[in-house]
């Protein structure tokens, strides 16, 4: 609620005290999709269309007017404004959200703002916001600025690991598969043997020492799991993304929940909610996002567009494509 409510409180206080004509609030967000979505949410709370008293400005797109009093923008936008308008003339408040992320743009903005309020704009109000901020560090950076610690609520979370997911889905990492460890280890675990047949004929055969000894020499690290899971954990290359496993997990949770007896919802959650909500899958980059999107769309289980919306999300996508994630899911 801080991203929407804190700037809105400032605006409402100014309007109620008769200072609405002078107030001009800028609230920065580290990502474009956040700037747009928060601005739209606040405009809904104000019961007005975006672009009126509430607006946003991101790279190559903006919705604002001369009546805009609260503008959400990316960090890059306000840095570019500082180049043309070093004193931020007319701006009364700057709210820097998600300040804990410590991107170079945010750090540079904080340096610029500190210099500004110590020289030509001592009247400018700076508000730093974060759910995980180390208040003392930032307070000290701004010469002992006061800080507010507002208690919030936390949501229940259950953590499961690779071995848990392999066990729950029954997914097996086969030797020699794309997701299994390769290279020197595989080569060192094979040997060439001369085998003599019944007729005395000899032929060469390559055998896997790993297969020969696995039934007796399996690590005890995952002794509480099935043998298939233990063998898969010894073979798995954790640097390789296993798209098939991701699909199996989604299938178990969304399509076959009756066979899931180990991946449980956090305490206090509604068991019926899992089929009505959304699933977020975090991946390293756009290439992996595209690969999984294509895999799921081609899947017989998840290719049904009337039931599933598979939505890629990345900062390189257009604002229009990013907004798809905020649309209400199909009933």
- The DSSP code for 200 is S
Dihedral pair phi/psi, residue 265, rounded to 5°: -70, 155
Dihedral pair phi/psi, residue 57, rounded to 5°: -145, 115
Alpha-carbon distance of 26 to 89, in angstroms, equals: 12
What is the pLDDT, as a whole number, of residue 277? Answer: 72
CA angle, corner 57, sides to 13 and 8, nearest 5?
A: 15
What is the pLDDT, as a whole number, of residue 274? Answer: 64
User: Are 44 and 50 a contacting pair, CB within 8 Å?
Assistant: no
What is the pLDDT, as a whole number, of residue 51? Answer: 93
Q: How many CA atoms lie within 13 A of 283 on its CB side?
A: 20
Structure tokens at 210: 């790993």
Helix (H) and strand (E) counts in the chain: 12, 8
What is the pLDDT, as a whole number, of residue 197? Answer: 61
Alpha-carbon distance of 317 to 276, in angstroms, equals: 26
User: pTM for this structure?
Assistant: 0.71
- Helix, strand, or coil here: 196? strand
Structure tokens at 168: 């729950």
Q: How many CA atoms lie within 13 A of 32 on its CB side?
A: 18
Dihedral pair phi/psi, residue 149, rounded to 5°: -110, 105
What is the pLDDT, as a whole number, of residue 110? Answer: 95
Query: What residues in the chain have per-residue pLDDT under 70?
Result: 183-217, 268-276, 329-331
What is the pLDDT, as a whole number, of residue 213? Answer: 46
Alpha-carbon distance of 39 to 53, in angstroms, equals: 10
Whose structure tokens read 């919030």? 152
């Amino acid at each position: 609620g801080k991203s929407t409510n804190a700037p809105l409180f400032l605006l409402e206080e100014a309007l109620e005290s008769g200072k609405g004509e002078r107030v001009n609030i800028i609230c920065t967000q580290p990502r474009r999709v956040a700037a747009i979505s928060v601005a739209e949410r606040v405009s809904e709370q104000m019961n007005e269309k975006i672009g009126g008293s509430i607006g946003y400005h991101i790279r190559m797109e903006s919705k604002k007017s001369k009546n805009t009093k609260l503008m959400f923008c990316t960090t890059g936008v306000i840095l570019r404004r500082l180049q043309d308008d070093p004193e931020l003339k007319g701006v009364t408040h700057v709210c820097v959200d998600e300040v804990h992320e410590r991107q170079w743009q945010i750090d540079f903005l904080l340096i610029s703002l500190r210099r500004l309020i110590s020289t030509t704009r001592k009247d400018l109000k700076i508000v730093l916001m974060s759910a995980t901020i180390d208040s003392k560090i930032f307070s000290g950076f701004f010469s002992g600025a006061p800080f507010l610690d507002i208690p919030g609520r936390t949501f229940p979370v259950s953590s499961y690991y690779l071995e848990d997911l392999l066990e729950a889905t029954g997914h097996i990492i086969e030797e020699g598969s794309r997701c299994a460890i390769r290279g020197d280890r595989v080569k060192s675990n094979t040997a060439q043997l001369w085998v003599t047949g019944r007729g005395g004929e000899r032929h060469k055969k390559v055998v896997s020492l790993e297969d020969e000894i696995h039934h007796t020499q399996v690590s005890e690290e995952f002794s509480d799991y099935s043998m298939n899971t233990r063998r898969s954990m010894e073979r798995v290359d954790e640097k390789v993304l296993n798209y098939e496993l991701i699909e199996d997990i989604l299938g178990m949770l969304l399509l076959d929940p009756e066979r899931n007896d180990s991946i449980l919802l956090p305490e206090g959650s509604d068991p019926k909610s899992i089929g009505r909500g959304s699933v977020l899958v975090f991946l390293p980059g756009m290439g992996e996002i595209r690969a999984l999107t294509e895999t799921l769309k081609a899947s017989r289980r998840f290719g049904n567009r009337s039931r599933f919306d598979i939505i890629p999300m990345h900062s390189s996508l257009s604002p229009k494509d990013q907004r798809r994630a905020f649309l209400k899911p199909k009933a």
